Structure 1
Amino acid sequence: MEKSPTYQKGREIRRELIGEAAVKRIDETVYNDPIMRKFGDYASEAVFGMLWGRPGLDKKTRALVCVVSDTAIHAWPELKIHLRMARNMGWTEEELTEALLHMGGYVGLPTVREALLVARDLFAEMRGEG
């Protein structure tokens, strides 16, 4: 089945945000069966191609929005992915840590604590990648 131009655009944006190595790792470990491949195709087209490809906000800002929303709804696996995107789009570890700490007054310290644990581990992982 041929993929749409929006799908192709979404794959390019996803690669830019996450990085080639992470895309390959996710494709091999998450989207490696027919059910999850359908989800990945949908996300590539609808989320990355249509949402991330919209004008009005740059990718750096969109990445921070995802970090904040993931934290607010306790979406820890997604937070790890979106923190990687935020780092790849130019946010520093210090800026992301401060954004998460700022949320403590709005979503609560237990939530922020968990988000900071995710951030700590992801930042260490990324430093180890070079």
Structure 2
Amino acid sequence: MTDSPLRVKGREMRRKLVGKAYADRLDKEVYDDPVMEKFGELTQEMLFGTLWSRPGIDLKTRTLVCVVSDTATGRFPELKVHIRFARNHGWTEDELVEVLLHLLGYLGAPLVREALIAAREVFAELHAESGDTPK
């Protein structure tokens, strides 16, 4: 099957957001079966090809919107992916932690605690992948 131009655009955007190596890993570990492949096709077209590609706000801002949204709704597996997006687009670990801490007064301690645990795990993965030592 030939990919639509929108899916090609979406696949490129997804790789830009998450990084090539991590996108390849997701493709092999998550999207390698027929059910998830269908989900991947739709998200590449609809989310990444359309929503993430819209003008109006930059990618850095869009990634932070997702971090806040995932935290507010308790979507911690997705939060891990979106924290990776955010780090890849200029947010520092300290800034992301501060954003999550700011949500404490609006969302409550349980959601923020889980979000910080997720962030810590992603930060550790990113440091391991890059060979950097965390501060």
Answer whether TM exceeds 0.5 for this pair. yes
Match of 2:17 in 1: 17
1: CA distance between counterparts of 2:31 and 2:4? 19
2: CA distance between counterparts of 1:32 and 1:71? 28
Match of 1:44 in 2: 44
2: CA distance between counterparts of 1:121 and 1:85? 14
Deviations along 1:17-76, one digit per CA (max 9) or x if unpaired, are: 000110011011110100000000100000000000000010000000000000011101
Moved over 3 A (4+): none
1:1-130 residue pairs with structure 2 within 5 A?
1-130=1-130
2: CA distance between counterparts of 1:102 and 1:32? 38
1:115 CA drift (Å) = 0.1
| Structure 1 portions without partners, runs of 5+ | none
CA RMSD, 1 decimal: 0.5
Q: Report sequence identity in percent.
A: 59
1:5 CA drift (Å) = 1.1
Tell me the amino acid that sits aligned with residue 99 of structure 2: A
1: CA distance between counterparts of 2:125 and 2:33? 26
1:118 CA drift (Å) = 0.2
Deviations along 1:77-128, one digit per CA (max 9) or x if unpaired, are: 1000000000000100000000000001111111000000000011011011
Tell me the amino acid that sits aligned with residue 23 of structure 1: A
With the length of structure 2 as denominator, give the TM-score of the two structures.
0.95
How many residue pairs get aligned? The number is 130
SS in structure 2 opposite 1:127? helix
With the length of structure 1 as denominator, give the TM-score of the two structures.
0.98
| Structure 2 portions without partners, runs of 5+ | 131-135
1: CA distance between counterparts of 2:16 and 2:66? 16
1: CA distance between counterparts of 2:32 and 2:74? 25
